[in-house]
Structure 1
Amino acid sequence: MKRIGARAHDFGTLPAAELASRLAANGLCCAQLALNKAIAGLNLKPGELNPGLAWQIGEAFRSHGVQIAVLGCYINPVNPDDAARGELLRFFKDHLRFVGDMGGSLVGLETGTPNVDYAIDPETGSEATFQALVRSISELVETAEACGAKVAVEAVTTHTISTPQKMKRLIDEIRSPAMVVIHDPVNLINAENHQDEARYIEEPFQLYGDRIAVIHAKDYTVKDGEYRQVATGLGQMDYSRLCGLIKETKPGISVLLEDSGPDTIETCHAHIAKHWPA
């Protein structure tokens, strides 16, 4: 069973019902929803998300048959400013508390850099930064367990969790079913390692396939040594390999398109359909 969705804000910043209608009209059954990016008029701060607002947004999406597969809350969990990091974690906990009112259970984040501006930092790969991440994720997971929600962690080559091995180590450190993984193969690939693309598609399924809860789908190109992320079907990634693994090991999982708006959605649908096993 193939379930294709998208990042909601790639289709505009709109009232919830209008946005959900637009997603459904483009053949999408699920979405990753970042509230402040996607819902018109919202600029939520810690403590402002509430059950009534969450229910209204969830009801708008439910009425159009669009599941909120991931509630995006892409904070920097290793921000070195203690006060700022505390507020970011508080904001994420708001999402964990109210994601159920929207009909979902997953709240997603990346693992950040030890820089107040979220910039690339030479200390990102250090043991100290990893341990800082463990402390933050542990705190979030404690709230998730109490709420019946899940913290969905996504790796990026320039962030604290940059490889499948580091993700496996984080899973082993946290030791809670309330931490799951968003697998985005393109996030693990760069200009230096793209020749090993198959490894970065497959290895997460081998190391922690039971924790993969969502797939992010986009593409990439490498030309004259320059790496660039593009919409699905406009790059060089082996989608036959990825789609085969999804069908074999994760039937019915939400596959969420990134960098794919109304102008590219037909190409994305066609590319996935072409490579989806019969």
Structure 2
Amino acid sequence: MKFNIGIRAHDIENDNLEGLASTIESKGIQSIQLALMKSVKEFPLNLKSFNVGFASKVGRIFDEKGIDISVLGCYINMIHPDKGEQRRALEFFKTHIRYASQFKAATVGTETGGVYPEIQFTKDNYTEEAYLKVVKSVKELVTEAEKFGVIMTVEGGINHPIYSPSRMKRLLDDIGSQNLQVILDPVNYLYPEDASTEKQHKVIDEAFDLFGERITVIHAKDFIVENNELKIVPVGKGKVDYAYFIRKIKQEKPMIPILLEETKEPHINESIQFLKNHFKNN
């Protein structure tokens, strides 16, 4: 077996975690990104909800179905302009770190956020000031991850201060900890005006060249360009050159979790088969 295809758990409709795990198992999915705030429906979830019993129960539900929690998703705005909101976000992420082993989670993942309360595209995220705020927050979170022997994963994109592969490389160098790894989603680094096949190849190659050894999870999504915007579509229905991307993954990152993102029913099985076919044929 040379592929490990998974999905963001919240892209599958569910009423409870047991049902969610059964649905995922029925599709032959091996790995998930589990965003607790989006997938736990049994009770309202907040900072006080976290305890060893809760984390262990969730971990067992998926482990008994042979499903790995590759990413415990806790996507926060780590540089929120409201200092109170920022502090609450950082502490919430730290709580995920502290219980990661009970959840049986391989990593705890996030994006970096942005300079405004709502994440949006703005060149204001591209300033040195915004970048240094990210460095400060990531250092705090990685220090916590090191204490608990946990891997923190960070995802970049044009809506964030980590807007390019080179910026991600700088962040990794500035933090200087192997407890910080990368979720790679090439589509995140594409602009509507330049999302060509050649640009995709450049982004993929640059990411693997600059920090290939630090890529620990792949996000797989697809897009079309409509009204000068990238519109996300199910994997296999868009413009991503998956033949090229899969060849790169097979060469350099065998068995890395490749998690479908924003592919929902009724397209999940078809998109999984699309990726499997590319693994067999490329």
TM range (shorter): over 0.9
- The reply to whether residue 234 of structure 1 matches residue 237 of structure 2 is yes
1:94 equivalent in structure 2:
95
Q: Deviations over 1:203-231 (max 9, x none)?
A: 11110001000000011112453321111
CA, structure 1 residues 132+262, in 2 after alignment: closer, same or farther (shift >3 Å)?
A: same
Equivalent-residue separation in structure 2 for 1:199 and 1:170 (angstroms): 20
For 2:4, give the aligned amino acid. Answer: R
1:38 equivalent in structure 2:
39
How many percent identity over aligned positions?
36
Gaps of at least 5 residues in structure 2 are none
1:259 equivalent in structure 2:
262
Conservation of the 8 A alpha-carbon contact between 1:47 and 1:94: no
Equivalent-residue separation in structure 1 for 2:136 and 2:29 (angstroms): 36
1:150 equivalent in structure 2:
151
For 2:178, give the aligned amino acid. Answer: P
Q: Deviations over 1:243-274 (max 9, x none)?
A: 11111111111000011223101221221122
Matches within 5 A, 1:1-278: 1-195=2-196, 196-223=199-226, 225-278=228-281
Equivalent-residue separation in structure 1 for 2:234 and 2:44 (angstroms): 28
Conservation of the 8 A alpha-carbon contact between 1:191 and 1:227: yes
Q: Secondary structure at the match of 1:180?
A: strand
CA positional deviation for 1:24: 1.1
Equivalent-residue separation in structure 2 for 1:255 and 1:16 (angstroms): 21
CA positional deviation for 1:45: 2.1
CA positional deviation for 1:47: 4.0
CA, structure 1 residues 215+136, in 2 after alignment: closer, same or farther (shift >3 Å)?
A: same
Conservation of the 8 A alpha-carbon contact between 1:36 and 1:42: no
Equivalent-residue separation in structure 1 for 2:215 and 2:15 (angstroms): 30
Runs of 4+ in 1 over 6 A off after TM superposition: none
Q: Secondary structure at the match of 1:266?
A: helix
Equivalent-residue separation in structure 2 for 1:225 and 1:75 (angstroms): 28
CA, structure 1 residues 224+83, in 2 after alignment: closer, same or farther (shift >3 Å)?
A: closer
For 2:126, give the aligned amino acid. Answer: G
CA, structure 1 residues 137+207, in 2 after alignment: closer, same or farther (shift >3 Å)?
A: same
Equivalent-residue separation in structure 1 for 2:167 and 2:123 (angstroms): 17
Q: Secondary structure at the match of 2:126?
A: coil
CA positional deviation for 1:71: 0.4
CA positional deviation for 1:165: 0.6
TM-score (norm 1): 0.96
Q: Secondary structure at the match of 1:107?
A: strand
CA positional deviation for 1:115: 1.1
Q: Secondary structure at the match of 2:263?
A: coil
For 2:204, give the aligned amino acid. Answer: I
Q: Deviations over 1:104-149 (max 9, x none)?
A: 1311111111112334444211111100000000000000001111
RMSD (Å), alpha carbons = 1.4
Equivalent-residue separation in structure 2 for 1:242 and 1:194 (angstroms): 14
CA, structure 1 residues 262+27, in 2 after alignment: closer, same or farther (shift >3 Å)?
A: farther
Equivalent-residue separation in structure 2 for 1:259 and 1:103 (angstroms): 24
Conservation of the 8 A alpha-carbon contact between 2:223 and 2:240: yes
Conservation of the 8 A alpha-carbon contact between 2:185 and 2:220: yes
Conservation of the 8 A alpha-carbon contact between 1:154 and 1:181: yes
Q: Secondary structure at the match of 1:208?
A: helix
Q: Deviations over 1:47-80 (max 9, x none)?
A: 4311110000010001111111100001001101
Conservation of the 8 A alpha-carbon contact between 2:70 and 2:257: yes
Gaps of at least 5 residues in structure 1 are none
For 1:28, give the aligned amino acid. Answer: I
For 2:51, give the aligned amino acid. Answer: N
For 1:46, give the aligned amino acid. Answer: L
Q: Secondary structure at the match of 1:68?
A: strand
